A and B are shown apart, each in its own frame.
Chain A
Amino acid sequence: MPKFTPSELDAHKAKLLAAPAKKAVIKVGLNTCGDAAGAQPVMAAIKEEVQKAGLDAQIVKTGCSGMCALEPLVEVTTAGAAPVQYGRVTAEAAREIVEKHIKGGRVVDAYKVPSVGDMSSEKPVPGKQYRIVLRNCGVIDPESLDEYIARDGYQALKQVLSGMTPEQVIAELETSGLRGRGGAGFPTFMKWKLTRASRPGEQKYIICNGDEGDPGAYMDRSVLEGDPHAVIEGMIIGGWVIGASQGIFYIRAEYPLAIERIEKAIKQARANGLLGKNILGTGFDFDLEVRLGAGAFVCGEETALIASIEGLRGTPRPRPPYPAQKGLWDQPSMVNNVETLANIGQIVLRGGAWFGAIGVGRSKGTKVFAVTGKVKVSGLIEIPMGTTLRQVVMDICGGTSSGKPVKAMQTGGPSGGLIPASLLDTPITYEDLGKLGSIMGSGGMIVMDESDNTVELSRFYLDFSVDESCGKCAPCRIGGTQMLRTIDKIVERKGTAADIAKIRKIALTMQRGSLCALGQTTPNPVLSALRYFESEWTERLVPATKK
Chain B
Amino acid sequence: MTVKAIINGIPVEVAEGTSILDAAKKVSVKIPALCKHPDLDHTAACGICIVRIKATGRTLRACCTPLENGMEITTHDPEIVNVRRGIVEMIMSKHPNECVTCARNQNCELQTMCADFNIHTTDLDNIVPDLPVDATTKSIVLDPRKCISCGRCIQVCQKDQNVWALTFMERGIETRIAPAGDISMAESPCVKCGQCSAHCPTGAIVEYDEGPDVWAKLADPELHCVVQIAPAVRVAIGEAFGFKPGTNLTGKIYAALRRMGFKAVFDTNFGADLTILEEGSEFVERFAHGKGELPLITSCCPAWVDFMEKYHSDMIPHFSSCKSPHEMVGALSKTYYAEKIKTEAKKIYMVSVMPCTAKKYEIQRSDDMKSSGYQDVDVSITTRELARMIKQAGIDMQSIPEEQPDHLLGAYSGAGTIFGATGGVMEAAIRTALKLVTGQTPGRVDFEVTRGLKGVKEGVLEVAGKQVKIAVAHGLGNVEYVINKVREAKQKGEAPPWHFIEVMACPGGCVGGGGQPYGVTDELRLARAKGLYQEDQAGMWRCSHDNPYIQKLYDEYLGKPLSEKSHHLLHTHYNPRPQYQR
A: residues with CB less than 8 A from B are 296, 313, 317-318, 320, 466-475, 477-482, 485, 498, 502, 505-506, 508-509, 512-515
Contact = CB atoms under 8 A, between A and B. Distances in A.
Given A466-B172, A505-B82, A515-B47, 9 more contacts: A313-B167, A318-B42, A469-B172, A474-B47, A477-B172, A477-B173, A478-B127, A481-B127, A509-B90
A69 to B, nearest CB: 33
B87 A475 contact: yes
B170 interface: yes
Contact of B125 (A313, A480, A485, A513): A485
Interface string B191-218: 0000000000000000000000000000
Contacts of B90: 474-475, 478-479, 482, 506, 509
Contacts of A313: 167-168
B139 to A, nearest CB: 26
A397 B44 CA distance: 44
B303 to A, nearest CB: 25
Contact of A470 (B61, B87, B171): B171
What 9 A-B pairs have minimum CB-CB distances, sorted nearest first?
A471-B175, A509-B86, A513-B47, A318-B64, A478-B90, A469-B172, A481-B173, A512-B59, A512-B83
A515 B44 contact: yes
Contact of A515 (B61, B83, B86, B94): B61
A455 to B, nearest CB: 19
Contacts of A502: 123-124
Given A477-B175, A512-B59, A512-B83, A471 B149 contact: yes
Interface string B147-183: 0110100000000000000011011111100000000
Interface of B: 42, 44-48, 50, 59, 61, 64-66, 79-80, 82-84, 86-87, 90-91, 93-94, 123-125, 127, 148-149, 151, 167-168, 170-175
Contact of A513 (B50, B149, B173): B50
Contacts of A467: 172
B79 to A, nearest CB: 7
Contact of B148 (A468, A470, A474, A515): A474
Contacts of B93: 478, 482
Contacts of B86: 475, 479, 505-506, 508-509, 513
B149 A318 contact: no
Given A469-B172, A471-B174, A512 B79 contact: yes
Contacts of B64: 318
A479 to B, nearest CB: 6
Nearest to A515: B44
A477 B149 contact: yes
Contact of B173 (A320, A471, A505): A471
15 contacts: A318-B65, A467-B172, A469-B171, A471-B170, A471-B171, A472-B45, A472-B151, A473-B47, A474-B48, A477-B173, A482-B93, A482-B124, A506-B86, A506-B90, A508-B79
Nearest to B92: A478
Contacts of B172: 466-471, 477, 480-481
A474 B149 contact: yes
Nearest to A321: B66
User: Which interface residue of B124, B127, B149, B168 has the most chain A CB atoms within 10 A?
Assistant: B124
Contacts of A513: 47-48, 50, 59, 83-84, 86-87
A478 B65 contact: no
Given A318-B61, A508-B86, A509-B86, A473 B173 contact: no
A502 B89 CA distance: 12
A111 B512 CA distance: 79
A474 B83 contact: no
A524 to B, nearest CB: 16
A317 B63 CA distance: 12
Contacts of B84: 513
A318 B151 CA distance: 14
Nearest to B85: A509
